[in-house]
A and B are shown apart, each in its own frame.
Chain A
Amino acid sequence: MTWHEFVHMGGYGAYVWSAYGLTAAVLLWNLAAPLRRRREVLARLRRWYEQENGR
């Protein structure tokens, strides 16, 4: 297989690569969302403990 054939995908390039692009997007979202959630939870927990100590 050559690079041209690889990109062209026998005429189905647009379909194949949009399917793989969408897959990449879903995989990345599944990684980014828990990382963001972890930062949020840690920040919330710190505030929660600060409030508790302040009381």
Chain B
Amino acid sequence: MGLALVLALIVVPEDGDQGISQRIFYIHVPIALTAYFCFGLGALKALLLLWRGDDRYDLESYVAIHQGTIFGALTLITGAIWAKASWNVWWTWDSNQLVLFLVLFLFYCAYFMLRFSLEDGPRRARSSAVYALFGVALIPVSFLAIRLAEDFIHPTVFTREGPQMTGSIFATFLVSWAAVTLLAYVLYRVELAGKRLDADLRELREALE
């Protein structure tokens, strides 16, 4: 992570077009990709839960989606900062990725509402798992929908097809991506360990009573 910051902030030459603001790309895009990865992982664990019926997948799926939502929120924030810096608006409906993240963010917030409103038990685990699976189906469908919606919402879409990534930019990007993924993984393990400890503790307390 530290290496990635150094590379992103100092080593890489500034983008001719966008200047310093372009550097947020090294944080924004890896975070977005990591969020997708977390959502995918959450859905995979959900599928395993439905298939194998093993309770531990419930917690893993939940924690993965929790991380994904946090990273999704960070994507929205960094995206807004980038939009402010380069297009001088905090929010733009032109950026498909940002809109998609907003939809997904709403969707996964609803996932937590669902979880907190159901009684703890196998039914909650399975309902959450089904909803998590819907989320993964929603990602490509929403993406397609947002692309289609440009048709009638914005007749002219301005694209941002920059020059291809050169060597040092791409290397920095990869290092940042690896760093963010590692961070997400560590957070995932930490939260999972905490949640498991919590569950164990509750079980012990119930056994004592």
The reply to whether chain A is a binding partner of chain B is no
B residues contacting A by CB (< 8 A) are none
